[in-house]
Structure 1
Amino acid sequence: MRSSATQARDRPDPGGIPIRTILLGVAGVMLVALGGTGAGAILKRDPLLADTSLSWIRYGHGHDLATAVLYIGLGMVIWSWIRLGRMVRNGHVGSAAVLTAIVAWTLPLLFAPPLFSKDIYSYLAQGQIALNGLDPYSVGPAVLQSPLSDNVSWVWQNTPAPYGPLFLMLAEGVVWSTGASVIGGVVVMRFVLACGLFLLCWALPGLTRHLGGRPATALWVAAANPLMLVHLIGGAHNDLLMVGLLAAGVLLVLDRRHVLGLAVVTLAFAVKATAAVALPFLILVWARRLHGSRTAQLGKAIAGGVAVFVAVFAATTLVSGLDLGWIPALSSSSTIVNWLSLPSAVGDFAHTVVDSFVRVEPGWFMTIARGLGSLLLVYIAWRQWWAAQDGGPDAVRRAAITMLAVALLSPATLPWYFSWPLVMAAAFHWSGTALKAGAFFSVWMLLVTYPNGDTALYSWGYLACTALVSALACASLTRPDPLKLSSRYT
């Protein structure tokens, strides 16, 4: 049994806000931002540092120092998140403390260089393409020959935009408002995407009323999570805006504002297509609240849902002046090959085994494995939808399971894709074991990408270290000093 002194040390500072823990996280994100100026997904030529006495931090030992500073900061962020989670789990702090931490930890990241990804440069280049009167669904950033396109990863230089018309309008507005400035565009785009974090923080407490969780736990699991903040704010991914709209839409549907909720989820789809996964499950929630036979309920809800979707999406598309070219462009992500995608992992492994005996091309293995993975995904989605016929919270739970299947079985998977099911599941009740598993995988997914955006998934020594760090974070969620390094628990 823990002593009263130990329990006291875990309690927050007066006022219900754990000041020291939050400040530890603030110091961490500031170090992450500082180290990111040399080790992040930096510009090819940064007008703020080029030809100055500080340019050395991007090369040689300066780059090594910046990398060390970034990882020290990242460790502090993880440490503060785990400490906060322990307080939440023990009931020592509530939603106000977690919301304070989210705000404090987000602000420095809004002004940091891009971290762990160069996707923000693609977003801005696609916005500039639209601003210049070209079709971003037909051409890639390479047509611009501008500072924005110069910083786009070579992988995506000739790739049309795979994002919905709402997001392309927002990107175009950001480029217009900043005069096509790269640095200004990064900062303003982050503020636009942070609207998704605001919506998420607004929706999660309400979702817990319907789904059985605790508001503070839901906010800690999803919104304060370093995977969310460092990757989706620091990395500036439009997934943040999508999941924010998605969470808000789900809450509205559960609150019986079905038409408005489905409209908001359609807007999430108009940002990124993944949000469409939730729509069939929300139709079931609506159906169960209608009068008539089961067939009549489904018929009315499906007709109403389709009408809302078509009206909202058509209006968004017409206002944007774009077409449906982004739908075929979704396949462009298949150029990414890593083993976070289970079908890609199976295809790559099968090719490696066979190629050790007979020289063969890898394309067939990847195509077959991904095709089978897509069939499995369709089967899982159908089974989950069919099992969710009673609607209500169970439909949302099964939507979260389907989102997880999408992240695992898509042809291409990136670490921040796991924010999709995390957000959908955050408002449910989390057991101690589930919280520890969530902490382990959140930290691990955070670390498996290098700060410059390159993948670390094939650096086995590095991955072993990330697994150890994740295991330590997992253990620390329930034990303040699992390594027994100090006589004082902090």
Structure 2
Amino acid sequence: MTGPGVPTEGRARRARYLGLAGAVLLGVAGWLGGALSQVPPTGPWRAPHGPAATLCWLAGTALMVGAWWALRAGAPSTRWAYVTAGLWSLPLLVTPPLASRDVYSYACQGWSYAAGHDPYRVGVAAAGCPWVDSVAPIWRDTPAPYGPVFVLLAALAAGLGGTLVGTLVVLRLYAVAGVLLAALCLPGLARAAGVPTRRAAWLALASPLIGVHLVAGAHNDAVMLGLLLLGLLVLVRSPGRTRALLVAGVLLGLAVAVKATAVVVLPFAALAAVHGRYTWRALLRDGGRLAGAVVVTLAAASVLSGLGLGWVDGLARSGDSEQWTSPPTAVGFVVDYVGEGVGRHPGAVPVTRAVGLLVLAVLLALLWWRAWTALRRRNDVRQRVHRLAAARPRITLFAAGTALAATVFLAPVLHPWYVTWPLLVLAGSATRTTWFVLPAAVASFLTLPDGTTVARYTKAPGAIAVTALLVVLAWWASRAWRARRAGPTGTGARLDEGT
């Protein structure tokens, strides 16, 4: 296959095997100094094989990121991208948990629920989980922040696995199933949005974030994303059809009931649900059916699990961790440093986090309105050209992905695996990619194999660097906005162009 953006055979082969070598090194790092049970995350260099584990981790991450970045314009073919991503995942399937200890929290929360405790009221330590020593200390006494569907899945894993190792195996199988479900949905979403499937598959599935955090780390984000992408695919293929709306609503409701982050996509999914002309009446009709199915699914999950809405309260504790990787938190750190320099202790982090959430709420509303107005402009366009036919799903999917990106970077906490949320949606809908591919590449370097975060050792310089970057981005955005206002049309970049 040849054409614009298609890599040469030699370049593609080098990328494939360099990335595979990187995955093997990461697997070795996992066995030497990964997130092993009952081994606290004190930095892999302090473990018996610490220096070797750290060296393998850094080299492996660099190789995988470099190979992924080299083909960011697209793999030679969609099949080639799938095969290569699968090869890279094999060493990560058989390594201990990598880059996070969250999977141990899942195991204990499932055990607690199976033992008759309410994980939204009782921490895993108080519940008497036999594996509590494997859980990160900060999460031993906090309620579960995950939805009732995932608590049920975790309890099933604990029952099927029996032992800690068995439970971890089942939880990893869940994550792999979520990644496979997302992989099945990507070509359909990309074709609907007019995006090359070979590029979408490569950017989404070959990213080191997928292999390290969703496969090896077994994060429940994989399950959430699989359900989310399937729900969106059902919508863009059959908008307005009652059965499709109900099925999509159930899938999206299940995604929210795994991890609440999926709720951000729902207003944009309502736009994708509309069939025919975009009018307020059509939005209320089709979007209302979708919303009804989501609400019924959430209510059913809450009632059938016997947990009610207690999981909503658990979300408040997810911000207990303070790291500069979250831009609002980084700004709060810098304000505190300045305050301490003049003899004050302002405690700015809660304030900047609150401001970040307020900005996020405004930004989400603006993104939705911009997508709505772009769709309304399409009402009278005759859809005879493929690019125009793809405009509707591209607008809604790109807006949903942008909303997830805004949520990741304005939330109080940003862990590297959060970047997979927008990555998978934008890979199949955005025409320009560097703006979200580059942060994903950087995020791959933010953790160490035992679950220790780089932010733990770079608090001050990291916070200052992020704050300086925000100032530069704000200046650049201001200049770009003024330039567009001064242009011949003054309309600015259009959302449906993926800019």
Output the TM-score relative to the length of structure 2: 0.80
The amino acid of 2:298's aligned partner reads: F
2:27 is the counterpart of 1:33 = yes
2:435 is the counterpart of 1:453 = no
> Corresponding residue for 2:37?
43
> Corresponding residue for 1:233?
215
> Corresponding residue for 2:233?
251
2:294 to 298, 309, 312: 309
Pair 208,392 (structure 1): closer, same or farther in 2 beyond 3 Å: closer
Q: Is the 8 A contact 1:449 1:456 kept in 2?
A: yes
The amino acid of 1:237's aligned partner reads: H
Classify the secondary structure of the residue corresponding to 2:177. helix
The residue correspondences of 1:89-108 to structure 2 (distance < 5 A) are 89=74, 93-108=76-91
Q: Is the 8 A contact 2:120 2:145 kept in 1?
A: yes
2:262 is the counterpart of 1:275 = yes
Pair 358,127 (structure 1): closer, same or farther in 2 beyond 3 Å: same
The residue correspondences of 1:397-476 to structure 2 (distance < 5 A) are 397-431=398-432, 434-435=433-434, 437-457=435-455, 459=457
2:396 is the counterpart of 1:395 = yes
The amino acid of 2:401's aligned partner reads: A
Alpha-carbon distance in 1 for matches of 2:295, 2:431:
36
The amino acid of 2:37's aligned partner reads: L
Alpha-carbon distance in 1 for matches of 2:127, 2:25:
34
**C-alpha displacement of 1:446:** 0.6
The amino acid of 1:420's aligned partner reads: W
The amino acid of 1:192's aligned partner reads: Y
> Corresponding residue for 2:196?
214
- Paired positions, count: 431
The amino acid of 1:132's aligned partner reads: A
**C-alpha displacement of 1:276:** 0.8
Alpha-carbon distance in 2 for matches of 1:347, 1:280:
30
Q: Could you list the per-position Cα deviations for residues 45-98 of structure 1 after superposition, in whole angstroms to 9, with x for gaps in the alignment?
A: 69xxxxxxxxxx996552222222333333333344345x26x63x6x201111
> Corresponding residue for 1:383?
366
Deviates more, 1:101-110 or 1:151-160: 101-110
Alpha-carbon distance in 2 for matches of 1:8, 1:261:
40
Q: Is the 8 A contact 2:360 2:407 kept in 1?
A: yes
**C-alpha displacement of 1:274:** 0.6
> Corresponding residue for 1:265?
252
> Corresponding residue for 1:333?
318
**C-alpha displacement of 1:457:** 2.3
Pair 22,463 (structure 1): closer, same or farther in 2 beyond 3 Å: farther
Classify the secondary structure of the residue corresponding to 1:457. helix
Alpha-carbon distance in 1 for matches of 2:112, 2:458:
39
**C-alpha displacement of 1:242:** 0.9
Alpha-carbon distance in 2 for matches of 1:34, 1:11:
26
Q: Is the 8 A contact 2:101 2:136 kept in 1?
A: yes
The amino acid of 1:427's aligned partner reads: G
Q: Could you list the per-position Cα deviations for residues 397-449 of structure 1 after superposition, in whole angstroms to 9, with x for gaps in the alignment?
A: 11211111111111111121111111111112544xx34x5443222101111
Q: Is the 8 A contact 1:397 1:424 kept in 2?
A: yes
Classify the secondary structure of the residue corresponding to 1:447. coil
2:175 to 175, 193, 206: 193
Q: Could you list the per-position Cα deviations for residues 368-418 of structure 1 after superposition, in whole angstroms to 9, with x for gaps in the alignment?
A: 212211111111111111122226421221121111111111111112111
> Corresponding residue for 1:488?
none
1:71 to 37, 55, 58: 58
Alpha-carbon distance in 1 for matches of 2:120, 2:459:
40
> Corresponding residue for 1:143?
126
> Corresponding residue for 1:487?
none
Alpha-carbon distance in 2 for matches of 1:404, 1:324:
27
2:10 is the counterpart of 1:10 = yes
**C-alpha displacement of 1:459:** 4.2
2:92 to 109, 120, 127: 109
The residue correspondences of 1:141-180 to structure 2 (distance < 5 A) are 141-179=124-162
Q: Is the 8 A contact 2:145 2:314 kept in 1?
A: yes
Alpha-carbon distance in 2 for matches of 1:131, 1:44:
22
Classify the secondary structure of the residue corresponding to 2:131. helix
Pair 173,377 (structure 1): closer, same or farther in 2 beyond 3 Å: same
Classify the secondary structure of the residue corresponding to 2:455. coil
Classify the secondary structure of the residue corresponding to 2:344. coil
Pair 224,332 (structure 1): closer, same or farther in 2 beyond 3 Å: same
The amino acid of 2:38's aligned partner reads: K
> Corresponding residue for 1:473?
none
The amino acid of 1:39's aligned partner reads: G
Alpha-carbon distance in 1 for matches of 2:204, 2:295:
30
Pair 242,356 (structure 1): closer, same or farther in 2 beyond 3 Å: same
Q: Is the 8 A contact 2:57 2:448 kept in 1?
A: no
**C-alpha displacement of 1:198:** 0.7
> Corresponding residue for 1:486?
none
Q: Is the 8 A contact 2:111 2:129 kept in 1?
A: no
Alpha-carbon distance in 1 for matches of 2:83, 2:189:
20
Alpha-carbon distance in 2 for matches of 1:373, 1:429:
25
Output the TM-score relative to the length of structure 1: 0.82
Alpha-carbon distance in 2 for matches of 1:250, 1:9:
34
The amino acid of 2:10's aligned partner reads: D
Report the identity percentage: 32
Deviates more, 1:441-450 or 1:102-111: 102-111
Q: Is the 8 A contact 1:341 1:409 kept in 2?
A: yes
**C-alpha displacement of 1:30:** 2.7
2:307 is the counterpart of 1:345 = no
Q: Is the 8 A contact 1:253 1:261 kept in 2?
A: yes
Pair 388,188 (structure 1): closer, same or farther in 2 beyond 3 Å: same
Q: Is the 8 A contact 2:68 2:203 kept in 1?
A: no
Pair 22,8 (structure 1): closer, same or farther in 2 beyond 3 Å: closer
2:271 to 271, 280, 284: 284
**C-alpha displacement of 1:199:** 1.1
Q: Is the 8 A contact 1:341 1:411 kept in 2?
A: yes
Alpha-carbon distance in 1 for matches of 2:359, 2:269:
22
**C-alpha displacement of 1:290:** 5.2
The amino acid of 2:345's aligned partner reads: V
Alpha-carbon distance in 2 for matches of 1:398, 1:79:
28
**C-alpha displacement of 1:318:** 2.8
Alpha-carbon distance in 2 for matches of 1:429, 1:66:
37
Q: Could you list the per-position Cα deviations for residues 337-362 of structure 1 after superposition, in whole angstroms to 9, with x for gaps in the alignment?
A: 11222221121111110111123252
The amino acid of 1:226's aligned partner reads: P
Gaps of 5+ in 2: 1-6, 239-243, 376-391, 466-499
The amino acid of 1:266's aligned partner reads: G
Gaps of 5+ in 1: 1-6, 13-17, 47-56, 468-490
Deviates more, 1:191-200 or 1:449-458: 449-458
